[in-house]
Structure formats: structure tokens, C-alpha cells
Structure 1
């Protein structure tokens, strides 16, 4: 019996309604259906009283969501998609992402397109696009204290964000560099259209095998963004006497104490997107962010007599 999963945002009544509707429909067609919410991919925030909330990367997959699952449907916005990939990337389940939120930059279909999309996927008429993910680990001396998988970015900053920090950053085996900024972002190509873009970084097309380091409001004209091969590890140490906060994909975080250090690298796991047609990244940029839209009239090609 083919096995299919549904991950939905249980905060949104419409997503809950659609999830249970498709559970009944697919069950009647002979599929083994398993439901879960996106909450399982939210790693939580640490606090001063409990500075570590360590959940191993491989421990987030919900029960019955495993390598035997053909695919899963995600019902929600970009936050639900990010959470779903943290849950299922380690077991390699491809996801059909359906927008019931707002921006939906990471989603493949809108809710009104779901019947046609499901028909196409059940017929096997789709492609799988793999996106790089980051593994983020926090160490105290040599002991692993916290880790997370992310599709967009890792952000390190002080609380509150309005004060400058000093970072010592080592990319691969290159010499350590000092960066003075409000914070620092390490992003994937997918994350280049998220926080990194707002911080002034470039857009990177998903197939390019690179990562990006982006200072947030750097206190130097020489501290600019850096694009580097995704085969390089990045080590970050704080040169501040106070704790910092690390946030992954905007929804999970932990405190970083002065003697702690962070290691980020490309994860062996990838985000596997189900595509109903060949991926067209520039079309998504144009539709969601307005990239490449003409803002002035083009010169006329008609010659005057």
C-alpha cells in the first residue's frame, strides 16, 4: 500500500480542514495516510535559565514518516515548509509544498491548484529538485551542545539587535577575519532570498554550489558579503563578553556564551522539492519579489520617417 504524509499548520483552520479532507480522500483511494503538524520541526528557544535545548537533527522525523513514504504534502506558508524539511530531509521524503499562507516563496502550488497537483503527483508526473541545507552546531570547548538543520540561514546576534558585536570568522583553512557588525548571517542559495537579501546580499540561484556570509549593518566599509564554496566549513567565535543569540531559519535559537563556538557546513541531507513543471527560478523571483519587472518604457524600435 503506497504511503503518503501530510504536514500542516494547525494554527490555521483552513490548513487543518484541507489536511483532514485529503486524509479521507486518499484513504478511500487505497493510500496509507499519516498526518502530523509542522510543530515537530520547531526546535524552540533556549532561555537564560535553560540555555540548551538540544534536539539531534535525525530525531525530528515524526512516527511513520520514514524512507518507505512515497511523498508528503505540506499545507502552510514558508515557515511550515522550513519546519517540514527539518523533519523529513534526514529520511529523504520529497515534499509537495502548497501555499495556505502569505508570501509562499518556497511553495509549489496554491490551495486552489491542489486537486490538479495531487492528480499529477499520484500519476508520477513530476520532477524532484534538491536544495542544499546547512548543518549548524554549537560547541562548548569540544562538547556538542546544540545542533539544527536549516534550509535558509543561521543568524548570530546580540540581544537586543541594536548593539554592535565582534566576530572572529574562519572559512575553511583560510586566515581568521574579524568582523564588527550587529550580527552575521550564513545562508544557503535558497536563503539568499530571505534575511540575507534584506541585509543587502545578492540573490544566488539554487543550483550554484556556494554558501554566503553576510554581516548585518557592518561597522566598516570593508566588511562586505562573501560568497564561498559550500565545501568549506565556517567557524565563528564571539569576541564579546556577553552572551549572543543564534537563530536558525527564524524559529529556533540558543544562547551562545563567550567561550562557545559555532560550526556550519553543508549538510549531507538535502531538501527535496516536488516540482510539477521544470523549475523556473527567475519566474518565482519576478512573481514574488518583482525582480526584472520593467519600471520604465523601453525605447521604441520604430524608426521615424
Structure 2
């Protein structure tokens, strides 16, 4: 019996209802179906009095989700998709993301197209697009305290975000650089259309094997976004007397103390997304962000009598 999964946002009634309807439909087709929420992919935050919060990556998968699962359907917005990708990436399970949220930049289709999408899914009429992920690790005195898979970005800043921070950043074997800014972002190509874009970074097409480093409100005109090969690991040393906060994909994070170091490197795991038609990134940019829309001239002024 083929096996499928459904991951849904349990705080949205429409997602909960649709998850049950989808389960019944797939069962009628002869599938073995496992349901889970995206909560397991939201790791939460370590605490100052309990800083070690290390969860092995493979333990995040919900019960029944493993390498034998043909696909999983995600019901929610981008936050649910980010959490779900973290849950299933170690097992290589492809995700079909159905938008029940707002922006839905990572989702493939909408609820009103669900019947047609489900037919294509069970017939195997789709292709799988792989997106690079980054392993983010926090070390304290050479002890791994915290680890997470990142699909969008890692952000390191002061708590609260009200004053300038100092960072020493090493990219691969290159000489370290000093950055003074409100914070720092390390982004994948997938995350280049998220926080990194708002902070002034460039849009990067998903198939380019790079990472980007974006200072948030830098103190110097010389500190600008940097794009580099994702084959090179990144190590960040906070040069601050007080602790910082690290947030990954907007839904997981931990405290970073002055003696800590943060290491990022491309993960062997990828996020695998089901595409019901060939992916067209520029069309997505136009639809979601308005990129490349034709210029509309101002109307000719009419001289009143």
C-alpha cells in the first residue's frame, strides 16, 4: 500500500478541515495516510538558564514519515512550509504545498485547485524541484549546543533590536572581516526573496549554488551584501559584551553568548518541492512581488478651459 503524509497548520480551521478531507480521499484511493502538524518543525528557543537545546535533525520527522513515503501535502502558509521542510528533508520526502495563508511564496497551488492537483499527484504527473538547505550550528566551547536546518535565512541580532552589533565573519579560508550593523543575515537563494530582500540583498534564482551575507542597517558604506559559493562554510563570532539572538527561518532560535560561534554550511539534505508544472521563477516574482511589471506612463494632462 503506498504511503502519503499531510502536514497542516492546526491554528487555521480551513487547514484542519481540508486535512481530514484529503486523508479520507487518499484512503479511498488505497493510500496509507499519516497526519501531523507543522509544530514539530518549530524548535522554539533555548533559554539563558538552559542554553543547550540540541535536537537531532532526523528526530523531527512525525511518526510514520520516513523514506518509504511517496509524498507529503502541506496545508498552510510559508511558515508551515518552512517547518515541514525541516521535518521531512532528512528523509527526502517531496512536498506539495497548498496555500491557505497570505503570501504563499513557497506554495505551489491554492485550495480552489486542490481536486485537480490531487489527481495529478496520485498519478505521478509532476516533477520535483530541489532547494538547497543550510545546517546552522551553535558551538559553545567546542560543544554543539543547537542545530537546525535552514531553508530561508539565519538572522543574528541584539535583543532587542535597538543598537549596533559587531561581528567577525569568516567565509571559507578567506581572511575574516569585521562588520558593524544592527544585525547580520546569511541567506540561501530561496531566502533571497524574504528578509534578505527587505534588507537590500539581491534576488537569486533558486538553482544558483551560492549563499549571501547581508548586513542589517550597516554602520559603514563599505558593508554591503556579499554573494559567495555555498561550498564554503561561514563562521560568525559575535564581538559584543552582551548576548545576541539567532533566529532561523523566522520560527526557531537561540541565544548566542559572546564566547560562542555560529557555523553555517550547505547541508547534504535538500528541500524537495513538487511542481505540477515546470517551475517559472520570474513568473513567481512578478505574481508575488510585482517584479518586472511593465511601466505605465502617467496620463497626459488635460488643459482645462
TM-score by length of 1: 0.96
- Deviation readout 1:136-156 (Å, 9 max, x if unpaired): 000012111100001000000
Distance (whole Å) between structure 1 residues aligned to residue 99 and residue 39 of structure 2: 17
Aligned length: 298
What is residue 151 of structure 1 aligned with on the other side?
151
Q: Which residue of 1 aligns with 2:303?
A: none
Partner of 1:290 in structure 2?
290
Q: Secondary structure at the match of 2:88?
A: helix
Distance 1:138 1:52 in 2: 9
Matched position secondary structure for 1:263? strand
Q: SS where residue 103 of structure 1 aligns?
A: coil
Residues 51 and 145 of structure 2 are in contact (CA less than 8 Å); yes or no, is this contact kept in structure 1?
Answer: no
User: What is the match of residue 92 of structure 1?
Assistant: 92
Q: TM-score, normalised by structure 2?
A: 0.96
SS of the residue corresponding to residue 147 of structure 1 reads strand
1:34 alignment partner in structure 2: 34
1:296 deviates by 2.7
Question: Does the CA contact (< 8 Å) of 1:52 and 1:255 recur in 2?
Answer: no
Q: Match of 1:78? A: 78
Instruction: Give SS of 1:288's match.
Output: helix
1:280 equivalent in alignment to 2:280: yes
The Cα of 1:49 is off from its aligned counterpart by 2.9
Give the 5 Å matches for 1:1-305: 1-297=1-297
Superposition CA RMSD, Å: 1.0
* Unpaired segments ≥5 residues, structure 1: 299-305
Asked if structure 2 preserves the Cα contact closer than 8 Å seen for 1:2 and 1:69, the reply is: yes
Deviations 1:184-234 (A, max 9, x none): 000000000000000000000000010000000000000000000010000
For structure 2, the residue ranges without an aligned partner over 5 or more in a row are: 299-305
Does structure 2 conserve the Cα–Cα contact (< 8 Å) formed by 1:97 and 1:106? yes
SS in 1 for 2:219: coil
For the residues of structure 1 that align with 2:25 and 2:121, how far apart are their CA atoms? 15
Asked if structure 2 preserves the Cα contact closer than 8 Å seen for 1:74 and 1:98, the reply is yes
